[in-house]
Copies of this chain bind each other. A is one copy, B any other.
Amino acid sequence: MSLPEKIKLVEVGPRDGLQNESRSVPTAIKLEFIKCLSQTGLQVIETTSFVSKKKIPQLADHKELFQALDKNNNITYSALVPNMQGFITAKQVGVTEIAIFTAASESFTGHNINCSIAQSLQNYGSVISAAKAAHIRVRGYISCSLGCPYEGHIAPQKVVDIAEKLWALGCDEICLGDTIGIATANEAQLLVDAVKKKIPREHIALHFHDTYGQALANIYATLQQGITIFDCSVSGLGGCPYAPGATGNVASEDVVYMLNGLGIETGIDLDKLIVAGQYIDKFLQRNTGSKVTRALR
């Protein structure tokens, strides 16, 4: 079974992670955290979300943060944008890759972004066009691609339909999220098989939460299908709002450890990644969510 030689990890700790931690983090700490991450060899760091300050107060400093970032030219500092207003601000401050987000479940989309899936796609149409015109890369997230906290099981065809629409709208990368971390390797492979028929494999990213401990097995299974882009969050930052106390994003350190063992190139220095995780954990007064860090430190 041949695995890819090289993969790209997207570090989502500063955005998806901090958004879901209860303690709010001052801008200066975030800047230092992203600086630590920038020294690890990561190629993409999702930094923040240009979302309403009321909706996600943890990321209310998005504009100041992005402007103050000490940017490394080899790294893409991406950001979420929920709408045209967010896009305009993101563009103003020089964001070169945005992410827009919908879900494969109507209930989730209703709860999370207060509209239907179809409406969310319609709203994003103009954002994506504006981004393409400005040569800004666009990633499209599909949350709940493998299960929904309200609806349970999600049929792969539902995900395929949305993925095709996002692709047709101009997304450069489609990220399939297992938001509640419920899938096992078999389900992950079935979804990838279905989406691969419509979207070129090298444009598909996978975003696994480790809520049920399945993330690494799922990454291993989908590496076997030729997937080369995976999301992760240093120290497993970010809990699971649908199962309080449960694990959230898969820990970047554990993913890198596995990929190193598999001989797959990531360009990332594991020791530096551990240092970045320890930096933010110390501030948040939380225990690491990475088993590798626990074993090595």
Interface residues of A (CB under 8 A from B): 1, 181, 183-187, 210-214, 216-217, 219-221, 224, 240, 243, 245-247, 251, 254, 257-258, 260-263, 290-292, 294-296
Contacts and interface: CB of A to CB of B under 8 A. Distances in A.
Most buried by B among A220, A224, A263, A292: A220
A100 to B, nearest CB: 28
14 contacts: A181-B295, A184-B261, A186-B261, A187-B261, A211-B291, A212-B295, A213-B251, A213-B290, A213-B292, A214-B258, A216-B217, A220-B220, A243-B294, A246-B291
A99 to B, nearest CB: 26
A220 B1 CA distance: 13
Nearest to A221: B220
Number of copies: 2
Most buried by B among A214, A240, A263, A290: A214
A217 to B, nearest CB: 4
A117 to B, nearest CB: 26
Contact of A220 (B185, B211, B212, B260): B185
B183 A261 contact: yes
A7 to B, nearest CB: 14
A295 B240 contact: yes
Contact of A186 (B185, B245, B263): B263
A91 to B, nearest CB: 39
Nearest to A220: B217
A254 B212 contact: yes
Contact of A262 (B184, B243, B260): B184
Contacts of A212: 254, 257, 291-292, 295
B247 A294 contact: yes
Contacts of A243: 294-296
Nearest to A182: B295
